[in-house]
Amino acid sequence: MKIKFWGVRGSIASPIKPRSIRGKIETILSLATPMDIQSPDSIKKFLGNLSFSHHSTYGGNTTSIEIRDKEDHLIMLDSGTGIRELGMEMMKSEFGKGQGKADWVFTHTHWDHIQGFPFFVPLFVPNNEFTFYSSMEGIEERLKYQHSFSHFPVPFEGYLAQKSFHYVPEGEKFALGKHIQAHSKSMRHPGGSFSYRFEEDGKSLIFASDVEFNLDEMDNIEEYIGYFEGADVLVFDTQYTFEESLQKIDWGHSSASIATDIALKAGVKKLVMFHHDPSYDDEKLDAVYLRALKYKEMFDPMGRLDIVMAYEGLELEI
């Protein structure tokens, strides 16, 4: 399996501000020496030694994930604002000719997970085929509601691609393409949300965005451990710092420390921090990531767990 992140923010899109870009430029210039800018190679080396927030950005689009199986079959997860850019990239392939086929899985239908849907161009191309799956009942009606004329001027019927919708009960396995099997598990989140476990050739990816685990849930975590057990990659909601999570009980999100505890208990190989708070700038996210790494070191001295921070464009292969 290959995974690519097109949107990693939670709640609402948060594009980088002009003053933030200027601040990055000023910082880079202040740190550079004449030796650092002598050649293209020296510039690349210099930038590579800076913190991520200095030379790049985690991105401001909301949840959108691309998965590819070993035959390059496309599976999409949710449709936050990041789905628009994925759609434009897909238009360069068979989807631009009305010959594309893809599966689409939805965790739930809060706006940050569906607001890019009306701007996904391949849906407007006749003969493209999209098969929708969700353990959330009524997914078709939920998506249609976003196209009410009071919300958006183009009706749902304006999508000329072929569409089929399938409700999959929690825990029931279903096939995506020829090679991936998936099943869902309900997670604590206002209004409900589902996590999905995807498996191909003995490798597993779990997508667990918009889930709240607090100290109370950790006392009863055993019912979830079997689901998370041994995942090669766990993409997990780490929207809040631990301190903020204590102040925002029932807001529906978790912290990096809780995610790390779960990953270590379940023997997960790689944890991907995801669903970043829209109020966090790149510098704050750098700090959150460093704190997560230090927390992990205390409980994982042998380095069994790898932790990475999701950013737009991040690609992983299992």
What 8-state DSSP symbol labels residue 35?
Answer: G
Q: Give me the torsion for CA of 193, 163, 101, 147, rounded to 10°.
A: -60
pLDDT of residue 221: 79
Maximum alpha-carbon separation in the chain: 61
Question: What is the average pLDDT score of the chain?
Answer: 95
Cβ atoms 179, 71 nearer than 8 A: yes
Distances in Å between the Cα of 255 and the Cα atoms of 123, 260, 298 are: 35, 9, 17
* Residue 13 confidence class, pLDDT cut points 50, 70, 90: very high
* Residue 240 confidence class, pLDDT cut points 50, 70, 90: confident
The sign one gets for the Cα dihedral 196, 105, 69, 201 is positive
Provide CATH code, domain 2-15+61-317.
Answer: 3.60.15.10
- Judged against a pLDDT cut of 90, whether residue 214 lies above it is answered with no
- Judged against a pLDDT cut of 90, whether residue 218 lies above it is answered with no
Cβ atoms 238, 259 nearer than 8 A: yes
d(CA 208, CA 63): 12
Whether the full predicted model's pTM is greater than 0.85, yes or no, is: yes
pLDDT of residue 5: 98
* % residues pLDDT > 70 (the chain): 97
3-state secondary structure of 89: helix
Residue 111: CB partners within 8 Å, gap ≥ 6?
A: 12
Helix axes 256-266, 282-299, angle to 10 degrees: 40
- Judged against a pLDDT cut of 90, whether residue 223 lies above it is answered with no
Q: Which tens digit of pLDDT belongs to each residue from 33-75?
A: 999 999 999 999 999 999 999 999 999 999 999 999 999 999 9
Q: Which tens digit of pLDDT belongs to each residue from 245-290?
A: 666 776 777 899 999 999 999 999 999 999 999 999 999 999 999 9
